[in-house]
Amino acid sequence: MQSIDLATQTLRDANAALQAQAAQTNATSWEILNPRGAHAIAVGLDAPIEVTVRGSTGYYCAGMNKQATVHVAGSAGPGVAENMMSGMVIIDGDASQYAGATGRGGLLVIKGNAASRCGISMKGIDIVVQGNIGHMSAFMGQAGNLVVCGDAGEALGDSLYEARLFVRGSVKSLGADCIEKDMRPEHLELLRDLLERAGIDARPEDFRRYGSARKLYNFDIDNVGAY
């Protein structure tokens, strides 16, 4: 395992070393020591490497991630996995606001709670939260899946497009154009796969599904893949 100690190395050098890894790299396992809440740790990665951050991080950890698996052994500040493209990001603790914002792919797992605007403007990312989420989560969510094993705050799914929302606990209120929908067999299978990939032991049958009523925008089933 390659170790980077932010007590002795600059964050710029640390990110440069991680970003320099290519698809065929032999240095596939990395750890970052003493993060001390630094911002933008492990951003812009584009290689199938594993990075473990041993401590909590600041803003935008693992932003723009592609291919890599980033594991934060602590909590994360605002914007974790922002604009994520692929790969996996795991947060052992809590995540602050707008986790997974504008994410286009990959899987974000938050084992604690997520604050407000989790999954805002999500565009294909899958997000699994083991705890609760705050208000305005999945606002303008276009595509992808948000799974919440706990409770959801106010205005869930406000101005939603075609993202799918699954909540096991209570929902304080639904946002504009967000409604509860039937949980069909294909949704149970999708949810079962997401929970297994996230390493969370929960029954898909205990969740409710929410989605767009499709009254705030012009929906055409022939274009569903574009949302």
How many domains does the structure of the chain reveal? 1
| 114 occurs within a structural domain | yes
- Domain limits at 153? 2-217
How far is the CA of 104 from the CAs of 66, 113, 122, 163, 222, in angstroms?
10, 22, 7, 11, 21
Residue range 132-189, pLDDT digits in tens? 999 999 999 999 999 999 999 999 999 999 999 999 999 999 999 999 999 999 999 9
pTM, two decimals, is: 0.96
Tell me whether residue 223 is in a domain: no
Looking at the domain assignment, is residue 222 inside a domain? no
In the structure, what pLDDT confidence band is assigned to residue 227 with cuts at 50, 70 and 90? Answer: low
Identify whether 130 is part of a domain: yes
Is residue 50 assigned to a domain?
yes
In a domain, residue 227? The reply is no
What CATH number is given to the structural domain containing 79? 2.160.20.60
Nearest to 137 by CA among 159, 163, 113, 157: 157
C-alpha 29/C-alpha 112 separation (Å) is 25
226 falls within a domain? no
**Does the residue 225 lie in any domain?**
no
